[in-house]
Amino acid sequence: MLEHRLTDIEDPAIQILGQLANYVDVQGDLIENGHIKNMVSLMKSRNHETSSGAILAMLSILPHSRIRYHKAIEEDVVVTLVNHLKHQKKSLFAAYAFSRILDYDNIRTAIIRLSAPDYIISAVKQGFFNATVENEPGKEVLGRLMSNDELRAAVLKAHTTAALCTMFKRGDTALNHAAFDFLDIVSDYQAKIPIFRAIVAALDHQKWASQSNAAMALHTLFGILDSSSERTFVTQEFRSVILEEISQILRLLVHDRSYRVVGGAAALLALSNDETVRTCVREHRDFKFARSEHFSKNRKLQYHGSDPREEDVHKMLDRLFAAMEESPNRRGAPKFPEVHSMPARSPLVTSLAILSCIFYIPCGLTTMLAGWAIDEAET
């Protein structure tokens, strides 16, 4: 029956199996005569009907501790379901299965140990939970998974913010829907501030790609792109958090390291369409200090390694200070100036600088050699 799944035949068979498993002798037979191993084999089938039928049959017997604590469950069943999470066609069904057995401590521990949280957030990122499984919306399955404190904590640590930033950046309606479904779910568990702070952490990153993605995530979470009813609840929840915690972003703006200034400026620029934000920012002492120092040209920022170029930092700040004074009738996504890292210094240039200090190489010769080294590095 499991090999050729037919709902009207198989589901009663699964129910009967679950009832028979109440008897100790049946449990022993399932374990000792290899029936669990056979079901695991069917779970691995490439045929979706066969695989899903075997999984449902397995779920029907897991409530019994004698079966649940059999080594095959952790070694084979959980491993198989985690592997299914990695594949587009099987991912949602595997998530559905896990959502049904999360209350079992040994299974939940194995799920987390086998990196299932990483694959769950990957499924969110790809929009797999937008679909329906076993006549149940994917959002409800995800909600059931996230209702478990231990698993939710693991998922939130699994590059969740980077995934959300990437989803928002793509501008795809289905992915935006998936992202907001996820945020809607975690909003019930006081996870808004951790997510906001994780976004701020992404702003405090030397790579511009990470910073711009995080800034766009803030822009979308604030509800600036549109005010559809689908987004109302989530955006209201996050608007208050962003306004209350905006000092964390302004703290980046007054830092002496250039890349942090760019991250803070990009985030504020992304939020600058909103009059409430602009008023709040303009009145903050950190913003007043940063603007005064910028226009008086008194500020000396530090530039190291792959920090953004000085001219790009100035362009970003010019754009930000102008945006904070504009009227509130602007719409659409923010337009960031281009940001490039400083060109990498050739090891030969560094070596020549050191040698000139140690051996007193004449300045003219050092300059000539250094210029040649720079030309070689740029070609």
Among 101-110, 302-311, 352-361, which stretch is predicted with the lowest mean pLDDT?
A: 352-361
CA distance 205 to 284: 23
Amino acid at residue number 58: M
pLDDT at residue 307 greater than cutoff 50:
yes
Q: What is the pLDDT of residue 40?
A: 87
pLDDT (average), residues 293-314: 92
Percent of the chain with pLDDT over 70: 83
Confidence of residue 330 (pLDDT cuts 50, 70, 90): low
Partners of 124 in beta bridges: none
Taking the CB of residue 373, how many other CB atoms lie within 10 A of it?
18
Q: Does 136 score more than 80 pLDDT?
A: yes
pLDDT-wise least confident of 206-215, 306-315, 347-356: 347-356
- Tokens 């511009």: give the residue: 208
pTM beyond 0.75: the answer is no
Greatest mean pLDDT range, 3-12, 14-23, 52-61, 207-216: 52-61
Residue whose C-alpha is closest to residue 126's, from 81, 182, 83, 80 = 182
Q: What does the pLDDT average to over 351-362? A: 52
pLDDT at position 9 over 50: no
Task: Compute the average pLDDT of residues 369-376.
Answer: 46
Read off the pLDDT of each residue in 163-187 and give the average, rounded to a whole number: 82
Residue 376 has pLDDT above 50, yes or no: no
Beta-bridge partner residues of 106? none
pLDDT at 197 over 70: yes
Cα 192 from Cα 94, distance rounded (Å): 27
Radius of gyration of the chain (CA): 28
Q: Mean pLDDT lowest for which of 15-19, 35-39, 120-124? A: 15-19
Percent of all residues in the chain with a pLDDT value above 90, rounded to a whole number: 42
- pLDDT-derived band at 10, boundaries 50, 70, 90: low
Alpha-carbon gap, residue 160 to 118, rounded angstroms: 9
Quick: pLDDT tens for 71-109. Answer: 777 778 899 999 999 999 999 999 999 999 999 998 999
For residue range 231-276, list pLDDT tens digits in order. 555 667 788 888 999 999 999 999 999 999 999 999 999 999 888 9
Average pLDDT of the residues in 345-358: 53
Average pLDDT of 144-168?
87
Q: How far apart are CA 47 and CA 51, in angstroms?
A: 6
The β-bridge partners of 341 are 308
Measured between alpha carbons, how far apart are the two ends of the chain, in Å? 67
Nearest to 217 by CA among 260, 166, 181, 273: 166
